[in-house]
């Protein structure tokens, strides 16, 4: 499961560790790591959708805005920086902490940090307006974009099996999009809920789709850039917690800028960081921030130790996991 470069390097430097990874237990550890990534990719939009629930109508959840979307992303990147600094201090002391503030490395990772933060903000904004299944369908564009970018910038080509899986997923997603939705849309349920609470603003799914596509574009470009930095040696030092701390500095600035911009567009008070149009921060909001923090860590570990085409396959599995139950229910409604 390791990339060829990583496997050959590990075999030369630490043959005992390489042999352990070839055992059943070693393969199981690698498989668990990859499955964690799939689960994390699937859980993030589902967690945001769950945290957005403000009430129920006829047993159906109503999604509102109990928190400002940009505030969660700012909090998640602050958490990433905090975890990175603590790990640096615990494993390397002052020497690793000083390397976290290496200006040259911070500038090297700045494009990826800015892109990831903006992509996270777009994802939260998208899931706030469309359901996780629709978001999973739209995010399928990331698969083709990642494959094209990997081929263009890294010289990676996809296997016939991977293209076959992608084609099947595309057909299933088209079937989902063509299935008529006979239930009352969330926008109408939210409108009725807000009428009861003296608020009449309605969000549109078109805006959510645009945010989803922006998320796809930013995520693909940032991931390919990080892949190139990790594998080319340009992103020294090689300690993951040091690199993540360096990335987080530009991400915090970008996430804060996005938060202020969103507040300005929506005529909201940015000083009310922990409140939204339909409520305030709760335990669910903290879980969302923690989930995004965990996703950045586990996915960066994947980019550092695995090849990008394997990551594309994981995106396919994550999209199936996120949209699968909704797709099956939609196909069942056709009969």
Contact 274, 67 (CB under 8 A): yes
Residue 314 domain-assigned (yes or no): yes
Which of 199-203, 240-244, 327-331 comes out lowest in average pLDDT?
Answer: 327-331
Residue 217 domain-assigned (yes or no): yes
**Rounded Cα–Cα distance for residues 229 and 236 (Å):** 9
Residue 201 domain-assigned (yes or no): yes
Residue 27 domain-assigned (yes or no): yes
Q: Which of 111, 120, 26 is nearest to 79 (CA)?
A: 120
Q: Which of 91, 157, 143, 71 is nearest to 313 (CA)?
A: 143
Domain total in the chain: 1
Residue 335 domain-assigned (yes or no): no
> Is 311 a residue whose pLDDT tops 60?
no
Q: Which residues pair with 62 in a beta bridge?
A: 55
For the stretch 220-256, pLDDT in tens is 788 778 777 766 554 444 688 898 999 999 999 999 9
pLDDT at position 1: 54
Q: Over pLDDT 70: what percentage of the chain?
A: 61
- pLDDT-based confidence at residue 193 (cuts at 50, 70, 90): low
Find the domain containing 276 and state its range: 4-330
Buried b (16+ CB within 10 A) or exposed e, 288-313: bbebbbbbbbbbbebbbbbbbbbbbb
pLDDT at position 117: 92
Q: Which of 46, 45, 10 is nearest to 30 (CA)?
A: 10
- pLDDT-based confidence at residue 200 (cuts at 50, 70, 90): very low
Instruction: State the DSSP string of 66-121.
Output: SS-HHHHHHHHHHHHHHHHHHHHHHHHHHHHHHHHT-HHHHHHHHHHHHHHHHHHH
Contact 221, 146 (CB under 8 A): no
Q: Which of the pair, 39 or 204, is modelled with greater confidence? A: 39
Q: Interhelix angle for 24-51 vs 283-305, to 10°?
A: 140
Please give the torsion angle defined by the CA atoms of residues 245, 249, 251 and 257, in that order, rounded to the nearest 10 degrees: 160
Contact 121, 70 (CB under 8 A): yes
Q: Which of 263, 293, 297, 271 is nearest to 70 (CA)?
A: 263
pTM, two decimal places: 0.73
**Rounded Cα–Cα distance for residues 203 and 75 (Å):** 24
pLDDT at position 238: 62
For the stretch 43-56, pLDDT in tens is 887 888 888 888 88
Contact 299, 37 (CB under 8 A): yes
Residue 167 domain-assigned (yes or no): yes
Integer CA distances (angstroms), 121 to 38, 70, 148, 210, 274, in order: 20, 6, 24, 12, 16
């Amino acid at each position: 499961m390791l990339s060829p470069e990583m496997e050959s390097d590990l075999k030369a430097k630490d043959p005992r560790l390489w042999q352990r990874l070839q055992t059943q237990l070693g393969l199981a550890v690698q498989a668990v790591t990859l499955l964690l990534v799939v689960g994390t990719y699937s859980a993030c939009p589902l967690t945001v959708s769950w945290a957005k629930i403000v009430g129920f109508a006829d047993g159906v959840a109503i999604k509102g805005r109990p928190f400002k979307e940009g505030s969660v992303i700012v909090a998640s990147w602050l958490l990433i920086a905090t975890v990175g600094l603590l790990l640096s201090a615990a494993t390397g002391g002052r020497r690793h902490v000083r390397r976290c503030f290496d200006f040259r490395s911070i500038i090297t990772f700045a494009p990826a940090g800015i892109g990831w933060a903006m992509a996270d903000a777009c994802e939260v904004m998208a899931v706030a307006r469309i359901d996780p299944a629709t978001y999973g369908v739209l995010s399928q564009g990331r698969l083709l974009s990642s494959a094209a970018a990997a081929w263009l910038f890294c010289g990676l080509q996809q296997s016939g099996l991977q293209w076959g899986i992608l084609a099947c997923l595309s057909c299933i997603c088209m079937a989902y999009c063509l299935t008529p939705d006979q239930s009352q849309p969330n926008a109408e349920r939210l409108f009725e809920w807000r009428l009861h609470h003296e608020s009449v603003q309605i969000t549109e799914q078109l805006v959510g789709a645009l945010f989803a596509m922006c998320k796809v574009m930013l995520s693909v470009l940032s991931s390919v850039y990080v892949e190139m930095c990790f594998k080319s040696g340009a992103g020294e030092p090689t300690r993951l917690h040091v690199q993540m701390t360096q990335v987080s500095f530009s991400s915090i600035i970008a996430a804060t800028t996005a938060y202020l911009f969103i507040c300005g567009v929506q005529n909201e008070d940015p000083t009310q960081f922990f409140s939204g149009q339909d409520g305030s921060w709760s335990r669910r909001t903290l879980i969302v921030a923690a989930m995004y923090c965990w996703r950045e860590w586990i996915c960066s570990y994947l980019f550092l130790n695995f090849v990008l085409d394997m990551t594309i396959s994981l995106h396919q599995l994550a999209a199936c996991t996120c949209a699968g139950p909704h797709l099956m229910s939609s196909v069942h409604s056709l009969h």
